[in-house]
Amino acid sequence: MDPKQEISGVDIRSLVQEFEAYKGSIFDKSYCYGKELVRFRMRRPGVGRDELLVGIGNMKNIHFAEVENVPNAPDKVADFAMKLRSKLRGKRLKGIEQHGFDRVLKIIFEGGESETLIVAELFGDGNLSIVGADGKVHACLRTVRLHSRTVASGRDFEFPPSRTDPFSLDYDTFVGLMNDSGSDVVRSLATQINFGGTYAEELCLRSSVDKQCVISSVTQPEYERIYEEIIKLDEKIRKGKIQPRIYYEDGSEMDVTPFSLALYEHLDFDEFDTFNSAVGNYFSNEKLEISDGSQEIEEEMLNKYERILASQKNALKQFSQDARSIREGVERLYSNYSIVEEVIEEIRLCLERGEQFDQIDERLKESEKSEIVELMRINQVEKIIEVQIEGIQIVLDPWKSIEQNANLNYNLAKKVEGKYAGARNAISEINKELEKAKSDKIKSGSNGIDGKEIKMQDNWLSRASIPIKKSKYWFDRFRWFRSSGGFLIISGRNADQNEELVKKYISKGDKIFHTQNPGAPITILKASEPGESPKEIEIPEKDLLEAARFALSCSSVWKEGKRTDDVYMITKDQISKTPESGEYLTKGSFVIRGKRTYFRNMEIGFAVGITCIPETRVIGGPPSVVVPKSVISVEIEPGQFSREDIAKKIYRHFCESFHDGKFVRKITGPDEISQLIPAGNSAMVE
């Protein structure tokens, strides 16, 4: 099944319910990112900034994004963005409505003498039009000239031909449309009733009706059951009884839905508090192929490097301040424990009574506690608040305890510190390229760069798009990595693979590693490359230690939560599948003869990372190998999370770290990461 690229009519019907919370937001600025994305920056009195993103390119969607998740403003303001600013300046958001049941939204702004309508078409090629009170198109992102309609500046705006609204049908009309289709049940629901493929199949499952049943054979009880499920679906949307989810197939995001679907009960999923936040996570701006306006780099490259460097240094300073402020906020949270606890409880009760920001703020100001805690902002959709505790701003969830809120903010601080590390790496790379550019310029003896383009060293995390280059190897089915010295190190995943490695893949000169205790994989350091003649060579101690640590980390020692144990090393001649007379070997077992070389009290250690050169792939192994080779990496240790859960956490961390959101999904997924890491529970190293 292909991943969702466009939101559906059901999705939009659910979203507009949540968009009610953003009414009254005042338009500030707009930005266009090619013809892929339009951003509306707004400000809600007493709340703060709102960022509405409308994707009208390949990933068609609409959602209010968190401020930190919006793309940077483009260097040049597009003509259409300027026209939006001209028409919407100072106006308030009156509402966002769905046109019928179509994938068309009416974004209505009011203020001054008249309303202005922004029509977003989230189907076909996608479009955005500015429509005045006179009903005429003032500007549009794309001019449309079709037999059925024309969308062009100066013309009367025409909505696309509307299709059936399934939630407005009475029972008899529903049955009549189904009978007119002449197809099977699922196709009739998808096309005649306008539910689309996914929800058509879901309705068949929920009503226990064979989706392939031809219309002429559908019975009245079956029609009644389907219609009843449609009514239930409509009621869920109207009453906001939703369960927003992102579904994963083979580790990759596959769909985002406002409800749990029986159709996807076999898939992994993440749950969200609001459908808006689920859509925002799924259709993040990293997934959009946003034009960055890059041009041929000539003489201006030096200035550009210097501007980027200054920007990164400012970002570095800001990340440092933000992380420090968050941690200081947690300290103030604990030092004023009882007061903050009372304030959180009072705010929660106010919110449950439906009170607004101004009412709650006024109530708090009447209390002596306001000298310690001041309410700054309420996010009604995400159900979080921002307060100042003794002058330090902090985010709190009124429905969580002090300890849970402290953990919430510690996690925020860690994310910011991760960005700090990324900014430091970026500064280092830019400094190198800046010095190289200056050197090249001096050598050329001119104001130019001797006719050559200077290409900045890739800061992979911030690149808009990363080309995929991943080869397939015969040893991919095993655990493997390349040591610091470039030696191939292979390890079995189970008893069958241990058996196979011992029988087929040990050559002269190879070193074999195993733990003193049972429950460890066979680990082989290959002295020669696959296809080369076996050879005896001296292997550096560092590479031997890396292989030993890998063997230990992938053993039962990790499952047991231990941190150290002994590992021994042997050669090809010392290992055998032939037992002593009268003995029996189980699958995956072997006999060791002769003297063993021990690595005493070895420490476990494991990291997972993503490489971009020479290949784009996820790798796992000792931190001393993985961290230097990776553009981003995570170290893990025995901990509280299951193998599957920690794999998902690592995957999400990688996805959030790359500007090119598609990149991580193309090269790996939680399942592959789970196969890389040691069996047993783990946690990320702080």
pLDDT tens for each residue of 103-112: 999 999 998 7
| Alpha-helical runs (H) found in 195-300 | 196-206, 220-239, 275-282
Percent of the chain with pLDDT over 90: 45
676: enclosing H helix or E strand: helix 670-676
Residue 228 has pLDDT above 80, yes or no: yes
Strand 488-491 to 392-396 pairing:
unpaired
Given this model, what pLDDT does residue 308 score?
Answer: 62
Give the span between the Cα atoms of 57 and 328, in whole angstroms: 42
Start-to-end Cα distance in the chain: 37
For 307, the 3-state DSSP assignment is helix
Q: What is the mean pLDDT of the chain?
A: 85
Give the span between the Cα atoms of 574 and 514, in whole angstroms: 12
Q: Compute how many other C-beta atoms are within 10 angstroms of the C-beta atom of residue 47.
A: 20
Residue 449 has pLDDT above 50, yes or no: no
Paired strand residues for 610: 618, 632
Residue 385 has pLDDT above 50, yes or no: yes
Q: Is 166-239 CATH 1.10.8.50? A: yes
pLDDT band, very low/low/confident/very high, at 386 (cuts 50, 70, 90): confident
For 116, the 3-state DSSP assignment is strand
Positions of CATH 1.10.8.50 in the chain: 166-239
Nearest-CA neighbor of 648 among 633, 669, 634, 631?
A: 669
User: Residue 60 is encoded by which pair of tokens?
Assistant: 């068609």
Between 41 and 336, whose confidence is greater?
Answer: 41
Q: Which of 568-572, 598-602, 618-622 has the lowest mean pLDDT?
A: 598-602
Given this model, what pLDDT does residue 309 score?
Answer: 65
Q: Phi, psi (5° rounding) for residue 299?
A: -65, -30
Sign of CA dihedral 201, 203, 207, 209: negative
Give the span between the Cα atoms of 591 and 665, in whole angstroms: 43
Given this model, what pLDDT does residue 203 score?
Answer: 95
For 603, the 3-state DSSP assignment is strand
Residue 292 has pLDDT above 60, yes or no: no
Given this model, what pLDDT does residue 527 score?
Answer: 87
Given this model, what pLDDT does residue 430 score?
Answer: 66
Long-range (24+ apart) CB contacts under 8 A made by 378-383 are: 378/46, 378/47, 378/351, 379/47, 380/21, 380/47, 381/18, 381/21, 381/22, 381/64, 381/274, 381/276, 381/277, 382/273, 382/274, 382/277, 383/273, 383/351
Q: Phi, psi (5° rounding) for residue 100?
A: 60, -130
| Alpha-helical runs (H) found in 255-401 | 275-282, 301-335, 337-352, 357-365
Helices (H) and strands (E) in the chain, counts: 18, 29
Residue 534 has pLDDT above 80, yes or no: no
Distances, alpha carbon 592 to alpha carbons 381, 613, 640, in Å: 64, 39, 35
Positions of CATH 2.30.310.10 in the chain: 9-151
Given this model, what pLDDT does residue 146 score?
Answer: 79
Give the span between the Cα atoms of 545 and 149, in whole angstroms: 71
Q: Is 9-151 CATH 3.30.420.130? A: no
Tokens 């466009």: give the residue.
6
Q: CA angle, corner 520, sides to 514 and 524, nearest 5?
A: 45
User: Residue 351 is encoded by which pair of tokens?
Assistant: 């919110």
Nearest-CA neighbor of 323 among 420, 239, 392?
A: 420
pLDDT band, very low/low/confident/very high, at 128 (cuts 50, 70, 90): very high
Q: Compute how many other C-beta atoms are within 10 angstroms of the C-beta atom of residue 87.
A: 19
Strand 245-249 to 252-257 pairing:
antiparallel
Given this model, what pLDDT does residue 169 score?
Answer: 94
614 preceded by cis ω (within 30°)? yes
Q: How many CA atoms lie within 13 A of 51 on its CB side?
A: 19
To 10 degrees, the CA torsion angle through 441, 443, 444, 448? 0
Of 116-130, 333-347, 364-378, 531-545, the range with the highest mean pLDDT is: 116-130
Given this model, what pLDDT does residue 545 score?
Answer: 94
Tokens 């898939």: give the residue.
267
The residue-averaged pLDDT of 335-346 equals 87
Contact 535, 508 (CB under 8 A): yes
Given this model, what pLDDT does residue 618 score?
Answer: 95
Give the span between the Cα atoms of 656 and 292, in whole angstroms: 19
User: Residue 59 is encoded by which pair of tokens?
Assistant: 């990933």
Give the span between the Cα atoms of 275 and 243, in whole angstroms: 8
The pTM assigned to this predicted structure is 0.46
Q: Which of 287-291, 295-299, 346-350, 457-461 has the lowest mean pLDDT?
A: 295-299
Contacts of 354 (CB under 8 A, 6+ apart): none
User: For 272-311, b where at least 16 C-beta lie within 10 A, e where not — what string?
Assistant: bebbbbbbbbbbbbbbbbbebeeeebeeebbeebeebbee
Give the span between the Cα atoms of 85 and 108, in whole angstroms: 14
Q: How many CA atoms lie within 13 A of 205 on its CB side?
A: 12
Q: Which of 207-221, 350-364, 651-665 has the lowest mean pLDDT?
A: 350-364
Nearest-CA neighbor of 7 among 103, 128, 132?
A: 103
Given this model, what pLDDT does residue 418 score?
Answer: 75
The residue-averaged pLDDT of 569-590 equals 77
Burial tier of 75 (Cβ tally within 10 Å: 0-12, 13-18, 19+): exposed
Contact 258, 246 (CB under 8 A): no
Give the span between the Cα atoms of 160 and 62, in whole angstroms: 19
The residue-averaged pLDDT of 49-60 equals 92
Q: CA angle, corner 473, sides to 666 and 511, nearest 5?
A: 125
